[in-house]
């Protein structure tokens, strides 16, 4: 009986193997990929040149001592506002003060003597007119008057110089602003022995200058009067504006780039001298331009003006090459390859291949 069943078992095994092969040959369909899409629609394009730069106070002063001596008083600390002419520090000047007093006495004496000799010369002129004095006597009197007047002027000039030197012992703020740096304390040595070091730095932040560099391909599009919008990391979410005031008459010989300067009104004091900023020079605006987010493009080549995105046709994704134009912030102009009204994949394209089935989760409206 066992021998008679073996052919039947062999046939059954062959039939099962054939069934398994037929089952494995049935292809499995790739599931649809969930994506988000957006409608390509015309928009307003702001043409701008992206730049970076550093803010600098237009008015700033570094103060040094012109005299030698010891600092006897320091009146201000760092980061306080000062007015033009406000005392900042004083240098010991007792010797100069004594010289000023002597010079004042000498100037007074010279003035009195000059007045006396001048009166004598006048009296001598009257006597000469009356025939009671000789011409020689008159000439001598006039010469003495001239000499006395010269001594009076010399004494007055010496007094003025000493007073100026005494005035320099009191160091004052040359401009309105804020003390950005103080490098002096009571007892420090001032003047030649200190090497002429900067002792105060005062900054007036009310007007700031922003210097930026424009590449050689764009410097022909900039002009005085254009707006420059910018922001900085220290003040997120805020945008500031300035106006281009000056263009460098020469380009950089290394890369042919051009430097320009914009004036920033900072009377509210929000910005600071030395801040690094990122901005854009507003060149113009164009309407009815197709713009897509930069993130939806792959293979972006700015030099060649080309990129790739996915367009949804029915339930399938189509890989499409597009020509790009101007960059505007986080968006890119599409010159050709995409038509207004078409749906492009805005999220989920990294999983796609050309011809894949897609399941649209959401559609962003323009």
For residue 311, is pLDDT > 60? yes
At residue 204, does pLDDT exceed 70? yes
As a whole number, mean pLDDT of residues 319-333 equals 89
Q: Is 28 a residue whose pLDDT tops 90?
A: no
> Average pLDDT, whole number, for the chain?
88
The answer to whether the CB of 201 falls within 8 A of the CB of 63 is yes
Distance, in Å, from the CA atom of 178 to the CA atom of 81, rounded to the nearest integer, reads 4
At 312-322, the pLDDT tens digits run 998 899 999 99
pLDDT at residue 70 tops 80 = yes
Report whether pLDDT(207) > 80. yes
Q: What is the pLDDT of residue 146?
A: 93
Average pLDDT over residues 22-45: 77
Closest CA to 284 of 239, 328, 238: 328
pLDDT band at 181 (very low <50, low <70, confident <90, very high): very high
CA distances from 162 to 97, 110, 151, 167 (A): 8, 17, 17, 9
Q: What pLDDT is attached to residue 219?
A: 84
**298 and 292 Cβ atoms separated by less than 8 Å:** no
pLDDT at residue 303 in the model: 82
**Closest by alpha carbon to 208, among 274, 299, 119, 135?**
274
Find the mean pLDDT for residues 338-364.
87
Return the DSSP state at 40.
-
Mean pLDDT of 196-201: 89
Q: Scan for tokens 């010469």, then name that residue.
A: 143
Mean pLDDT of the region 336-358: 90
Better-predicted residue by pLDDT, 350 or 365? 350
- Predicted confidence at residue 217, as pLDDT, reads 82
State what percent of residues in the chain have pLDDT above 90: 59
Is residue 113 predicted with pLDDT exceeding 70?
Answer: yes
Residue 25 has pLDDT above 50, yes or no: no
**Cα 357 to chain centroid, rounded:** 51
Q: Which residue has the higher pLDDT, 136 or 47?
A: 136
Mean pLDDT of 113-133: 89
Which tokens in the block code for residue 102?
A: 């002597």
Write the DSSP assignment of 218-239 as a string of letters.
TGGG--TT-EEEEE-TTSTT--
pLDDT reading at 169 higher than 50: yes
E strands of the chain, at which residues?
33-39, 42-63, 69-74, 81-82, 87-91, 170-172, 177-182, 189-190, 200-214, 227-231, 240-247, 258-265, 276-293, 298-301, 306-313, 316-328, 331-336, 343-347, 358-364
Above 50 in pLDDT, residue 59?
Answer: yes
In Å, what is the CA distance from 41 to each residue of 35, 306, 326, 364?
19, 19, 16, 11
Q: In this predicted structure, what is the pLDDT of residue 86?
A: 97
In order of their start, the domains of the chain are 33-45+287-364 (2.40.420.20), 51-58+205-285 (2.40.30.170), 65-92+169-197 (2.40.50.100), 93-166 (1.10.287)
């Amino acid at each position: 009986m066992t021998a008679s069943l073996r052919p039947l078992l062999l046939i059954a095994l062959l039939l099962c193997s054939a069934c398994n092969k037929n089952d494995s040959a049935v292809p499995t369909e790739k599931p649809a990929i969930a994506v988000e899409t957006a409608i390509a629609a015309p928009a307003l394009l702001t043409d701008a040149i992206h730049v970076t730069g550093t803010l600098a106070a237009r008015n700033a002063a570094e103060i040094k001592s012109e005299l030698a001596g010891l600092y006897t008083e320091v009146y201000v600390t760092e980061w306080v506002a000062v007015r033009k002419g406000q005392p900042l520090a004083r240098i010991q000047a007792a010797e100069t003060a004594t010289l000023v007093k002597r010079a004042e006495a000498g100037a007074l004496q010279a003035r009195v003597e000059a007045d006396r000799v001048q009166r004598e010369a006048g009296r001598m002129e009257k006597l000469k007119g009356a025939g009671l004095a000789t011409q020689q006597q008159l000439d001598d009197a006039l010469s003495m008057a001239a000499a006395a007047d010269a001594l009076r002027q010399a004494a007055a000039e010496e007094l003025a110089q000493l007073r100026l030197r005494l005035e320099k012992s009191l160091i004052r703020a040359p401009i309105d602003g804020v003390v950005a740096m103080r490098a002096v304390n009571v007892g420090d040595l001032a003047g030649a022995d200190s090497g002429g070091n900067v002792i105060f730095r005062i900054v007036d932040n009310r007007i700031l200058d922003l210097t930026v560099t424009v590449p050689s391909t764009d410097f022909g599009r900039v002009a005085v009067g254009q707006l420059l919008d910018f922001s900085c990391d220290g003040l997120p979410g805020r945008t500031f504006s300035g106006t281009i005031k000056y263009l460098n008459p020469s380009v950089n010989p290394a890369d042919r780039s051009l430097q320009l300067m914009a004036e920033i009104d900072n009377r509210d004091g929000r910005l600071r001298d030395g801040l690094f900023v990122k901005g854009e020079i507003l060149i113009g605006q164009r309407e009815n331009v197709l713009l897509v987010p930069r993130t939806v493009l792959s293979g972006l080549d700015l030099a060649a003006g080309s990129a790739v995105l996915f367009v949804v046709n029915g339930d399938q994704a189509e890989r499409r090459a597009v020509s790009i134009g101007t960059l505007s912030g986080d968006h890119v102009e599409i010159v050709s390859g995409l038509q207004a009204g078409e749906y492009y994949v805005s999220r989920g394209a990294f999983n796609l291949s050309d011809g894949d089935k897609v399941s649209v989760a959401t559609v962003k409206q323009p």
